[in-house]
Every structure is written in C-alpha cells, then in structure tokens.
Amino acid sequence: MVTCYLRYILNPARLKEFEHYGRLWIPLVEKFGGTHHGYFMPSEGASNVALALFSFPSLAAYEEYRTKAAADPECQAAMRYYEETQCFLSYERSFFRPVFD
C-alpha cells in the first residue's frame, strides 16, 4: 500500500472554493480504485494550509489512476474548477507506506 500526502498552500480568499474542490476529488479517487481518507481544512495554527490523504494498493496502481484521471471528463472538470477559482497557490506531494504490527 502507498498513501499519497498532499499539502496545499491555500488562497485565503478562496477557502470555500477549496473545500468544494476537495469534495469533487474524493469520489474521483475512489472511482479509480483508491481509498480517500479526506481533505483536512485549517482549524488551529496556520490558516492557509490544507492536507489530503489517499491510498492505493501500490505505486503502480497510483500511476494507473493518474493516467486514467487525465483522460476522464469529471477529473478534467475538477481541474477546470481549480483553474477558474485559483483556490490554492501551490501543493507538494509525498508518498508514504504504512507500518502496522
């Protein structure tokens, strides 16, 4: 399993738009075989940082998701929504593997 960690720097004037953007992506990740763990909006501390976490069975499965998502009309619409709203300024992506007993 691999978990993708996304850290967003938000546009403070577009928090509601970013929350909507996140809600668009949750079912899209799941549509292509991922498990979405949610978007996490600022609460205490930094007011312009949000996180998202989702997992795939493997890095290869994640790469397959990326390929399929690029051609998917719903994913393209979600990206257009971001382009129209500029609800985040930047993001960084990292991958983690879980450690269980």
pLDDT in tens, 59-78: 999 999 999 999 999 999 99
Q: Give this prediction's pTM.
A: 0.91
CA nearest neighbour of 24 among 86, 92, 80, 88? 80
Hey, CA dihedral for 70, 97, 23, 51, is it positive or negative?
A: negative
Answer for the pair 29, 36: CB distance below 8 angstroms, yes or no: yes
Question: The tokens of 11 are what?
Answer: 């546009």
8 close to 88: Cβ distance less than 8 angstroms: yes
Secondary structure of 43-72 as H, E, C letters: CCCCCCEEEEEEEECCHHHHHHHHHHHHHC
pLDDT digits (tens, 9 = 90+) for 33-49: 999 999 999 998 878 99
Taking all residues of the chain, what is their mean pLDDT, rounded to a whole number? 96
